[in-house]
Chain A
């Protein structure tokens, strides 16, 4: 097993920069999620690491060994594709055995390893089936077994759960995480689904238009996003824009917003503050008169009830602020009601506007 270092990687298709100077250190044994909108270069990055495509500039090292010019079949990686890519002309067992048999392993070893891998993904009894006789979730397990049976140094997954329905997806997330922990393999996981990235990974990297926007542990990215894009892409965020006061901003109407975390900026420049909807308290009347609290007045324009919580849309100064309130049975505000929103500076992230 090994870590992967990607340094200053760039790859262009014609005039289009699919990857633009990306550097990431994928820790040995870690579970890393690559997140980003469609076309942001996630697949391109994964394909450079796998060796299906080669970078224009930059370096890729697996386990400290430089691999930019090493062909796929020599890189000892395991890859799982969104469409499973199982060989339809082979049984499940032969699919899993493929990687070992092309390496010329002896039959007895292959049989034992294949059985072990199939047991690991809980498909021990289905070895003789053909891929088309399996369900989507089962096929994905076979693809996973096939990828890990050769003991690769890195496991690469390109939206492996994208084709599964929600319930099966959650099952497979748990399963995949269990298997990853059990064998301790360095895993790079491409996904569209931010919830998936948050729940499964040790670290997340957010890509946008070929650039790495931010990377770090899920909590860090969620709690202190460094850009409006990161704030709104991973989770939901209210963005308030104004002129910076150094440790916060002043809104166009003069209201001061204090921020706890984030960058410190030269006063007077444009900046914004991000606040997560679940960090905002909503109250009628004058609310909490605390000098250490950010406060805004507004009017409820819409309420969406979702069982365990409600989302309120509050209008103020031609901006809509989203507030999520747990259903404790107390807070029941009607549309049109005047309300006071409050939240602490610690829940406010100051972001430089580039």
Chain B
């Protein structure tokens, strides 16, 4: 019986191979090869393409530790990631709850579309529209001064809050989507059962709804935190001089300074740190969920 099962699953694998092949080929060509090249670059003194002589070195990694600038910026980026993730939870979770549990039919579809819209708009367009809104004499400034009786000057452009606003706007749909999916799966009769047992809405949220939607919160947080820590576009455009983060420094190495080996090394350090954070958070989150 067991042998028969094994052959069956082996032949199942063989017939699945043509289906898996394209995906694996793509992953190999598009991700694995460039990534291994980058790993290799990060251990070089200079790019072989430049024609200059090169040697293997650990210097690029050592640079991270010898200059306090890099750890400081990494720390700032991690904080940025944390802050943006928290704001996305604060904004996205209630929205997901309303979408999944309060709205029905057409109004749900309409609101859903509004949430997804940032996904479909070009990232740069999104950021530059925020720039128009946030700068002095911009849309927000003009609108507020038109309504308010006294004169105020809103100039959020080139500031930390501007970076946060831009990033939260770009990433909040991830949180809404992942939380929506887990909230949607919670049976309404669970909530009714809890209320019939005397639980208030807040108690239901704390003891049943949040624990049951934890997988969505965790997935959303991971989807947001990781790219935000390495982000460079929003910090650069909306943050101006205050927008120097770990991600912008890496970008500089690739597009301005042309020090690819250092850029690669800094990226892999970031990757390692993020993996360590996710790995250490996993057991805690698994217990909570």
- A residues in contact (CB < 8 Å) with B: 50-52, 71-79, 81, 83, 85-89, 98-99, 102-103, 143, 146-147, 150
Contacts and interface: CB of A to CB of B under 8 A. Distances in A.
Given A81-B192, A83-B187, A85-B187, 7 more contacts: A71-B195, A73-B195, A73-B197, A78-B196, A88-B212, A98-B194, A102-B200
Given A79-B192, A87-B194, A88-B212, A98 B187 contact: no
Interface of B: 187, 189-190, 192-200, 203, 207-208, 211-212, 289
A81 B189 contact: yes
24 contacts: A50-B196, A52-B196, A73-B195, A73-B198, A78-B197, A79-B196, A81-B192, A85-B190, A86-B193, A87-B208, A87-B212, A88-B212, A89-B208, A89-B211, A98-B197, A98-B199, A98-B207, A99-B199, A102-B194, A102-B197, A102-B198, A102-B200, A147-B196, A150-B198
Contact of B190 (A71, A87, A102): A87
Contacts, number: 68
B201 to A, nearest CB: 9
Contacts of B195: 52, 71-73
A150 B187 contact: no
A79 B190 CA distance: 11
B196 to A, nearest CB: 4
Contact of B198 (A85, A87, A88, A99): A99
Contacts of B199: 73, 98-99, 102
Nearest to A47: B192
A249 B197 CA distance: 54
Residue among A74, A79, A85, A99 having the largest count of chain B Cβ atoms under 10 Å: A85
Nearest to B201: A73
B78 to A, nearest CB: 30
6 closest Cβ contacts across the A-B interface? A99-B197, A85-B193, A85-B189, A79-B196, A102-B199, A72-B195
Contacts of A71: 195
B58 to A, nearest CB: 48
B192 A102 contact: no
B198 A76 contact: yes
A87 B211 CA distance: 10
A74 B196 CA distance: 8
A75 B198 CA distance: 8
Residue among B187, B196, B211, B212 having the largest count of chain A Cβ atoms under 10 Å: B196
A101 to B, nearest CB: 8
A143 B192 CA distance: 13
A53 B143 CA distance: 43
Nearest to A101: B207
B203 A102 contact: yes
Contacts of B197: 73, 78, 98-99, 102, 146-147, 150
Contacts of B208: 87, 89
Contacts of B192: 50, 52, 72, 79, 81, 85
Given A89-B208, A102-B203, A102-B207, A81 B198 contact: no
A289 to B, nearest CB: 61
Given A88-B212, A102-B207, A73 B187 contact: no
Nearest to B288: A89
A51 B197 CA distance: 12
Given A83-B187, A85-B189, A87-B190, A103 B198 contact: yes
A81 B193 contact: yes
Nearest to A77: B196
Contacts of A86: 193
Nearest to B190: A85
B193 A89 contact: no
A224 to B, nearest CB: 36
A139 to B, nearest CB: 12
Contacts of B289: 89
A205 to B, nearest CB: 21
Contacts of A147: 196-197
B196 A72 contact: yes
A88 B192 CA distance: 14
Contacts of B212: 87-89
A5 B203 CA distance: 30
A77 B187 CA distance: 20
